[in-house]
Amino acid sequence: MKHASQNFLRRMTLPYPVLSCFTLLLFIILSAESCTTIHPGEVGLKVVRGKLQPGNYGEGRHAIGFGRHYIHFTTRLTEVSLKMTLPTKEGVEAKADLTLLYHIKPEAIRDIYLTIGLGYEKSIIMNNFTAIARETCLNYKVIDLMVQRDSLEIAIFRDMNADLGHYGFVIDQVLVRDIDVPDDIDRVIEKKVLAEQQAKQQDVDILRQKKETEANIEKQRKEMEFSFEKQKREIQSNIERERLEQDFAVEKQKKEAERSVIEATAQKKTQELTNSSISEMMLKLKTIEAMKALGESSSSKLIISDGKTPITLKLMGP
């Protein structure tokens, strides 16, 4: 029996390399179990023996154990939804499906943990979301909830940021996914929506007609401007042509007048020359005739002449 026990122990004894590998593996497992991982999009707070340590811890592996652990907070975009009954201005209740998107500022995580704790989503986010949604809907009629959904979302979004911003929460978006109202109200809403669609279509038609009218007016204006410019160019062309014709006529008359003056001057000079020549010839002719008559006379005469104009002296006879 003693030999059997020794043989069993001998068979259970592991070689040194195998034992080393086993020891290393056991150390890795124990080390992994004594660490925590903070993933991307998360921030950790370190607590040692119940006391919150200063500073925030980012993504990575962090050692735990011996009274030390980490509290994880997500800074990713978080979605919360709720279905609730909303009161309206006239007292009619509408069932609504609401969705809220929010995230936490990393620098505000420590204050949130100290003042609110880990249940902040229920105690702060959801409670305020419900209260603000109900309070906001009291400003709307049930018909308006259907046709003014964007306005309702903006109002809740604004009030949520105003109430939760100082805690370190950022409201990214508020969505009103569905609103269910009583059937009679639903029919009234359908009629109102149809009337608004018709009104919008009329506005579109009026706008189109206005644009067409403005386009026609602009076209006529351009055509009138073109016609006016054309007439203006024609008038300017006619004026220029008439001016050239007048200048040509004036120049022609001027030249004719100059020619007439020249002709008159020439005629005058010709006449003067002619008159001068005729007068001299007539004088000579008269002189010759006078001398001839004297020559034929029986009286004694003494003729004194410079060869050009004879002077006749008549002498009395005995």
Average pLDDT over residues 187-213: 81
At residue 107, the pLDDT reads 92
Contact between 136 and 81 (Cβ < 8 Å): no
User: How does pLDDT run across 145-188, given as a tens digit for each residue?
Assistant: 877 889 999 999 999 999 999 999 999 999 998 888 777 666 66
Contact between 156 and 136 (Cβ < 8 Å): yes
Q: Which of 205, 147, 152, 212 is nearest to 176 (CA)?
A: 152
Average pLDDT over residues 114-129: 92
Structure tokens, 99: 């969705």
Question: Which pLDDT band, with edges at 50, 70 and 90, does 29 fall under?
Answer: very low
Average pLDDT over residues 183-205: 76
**Angle at CA of residue 221, ends 218 and 226, nearest 5°:** 125
Contact between 71 and 48 (Cβ < 8 Å): no
pLDDT at 31 over 60: no
Average pLDDT for the chain = 78
For residue 209, the one-letter residue type is Q
> What is the Rg, in whole angstroms, of the alpha carbon atoms belonging to the chain?
66
* 182 CB neighbour count, 10 Å cutoff: 13
**Angle at CA of residue 202, ends 193 and 211, nearest 5°:** 140
For the chain, how are helix, strand and coil distributed in percent, rounded to 5?
60, 20, 15
Q: Give the three-class secondary structure for 14.
A: coil
Q: Give the three-class secondary structure for 251.
A: helix
Average pLDDT over residues 289-296: 68
Average pLDDT over residues 286-307: 63
The pTM for the full model equals 0.50
How many alpha carbons lie under 13 Å from residue 266 in its C-beta half-sphere?
Answer: 6
Question: Which pLDDT band, with edges at 50, 70 and 90, does 97 fall under?
Answer: very high
User: How does pLDDT run across 206-239, given as a tens digit for each residue?
Assistant: 988 888 888 889 888 888 888 888 888 888 888 8
At residue 129, the pLDDT reads 95
Domain boundaries, the chain: 35-74, 78-181, 187-254
Q: Assign a CATH topology to domain 78-181.
A: Tetrahydropterin Synthase; Chain A (3.30.479)
At residue 17, the pLDDT reads 55
pLDDT at 88 over 70: yes
Residue with tokens 């309206």: 88
Handedness of CA 290, 295, 297, 300 (dihedral sign): positive
> In degrees rounded to 5, what are phi and psi of residue 141?
-80, 160
Q: Which of 107, 101, 79, 125 is nearest to 168 (CA)?
A: 107
Structure tokens, 123: 């105690």
Structure tokens, 172: 């990214």
Average pLDDT over residues 72-101: 90
> In degrees rounded to 5, what are phi and psi of residue 266?
-65, -40
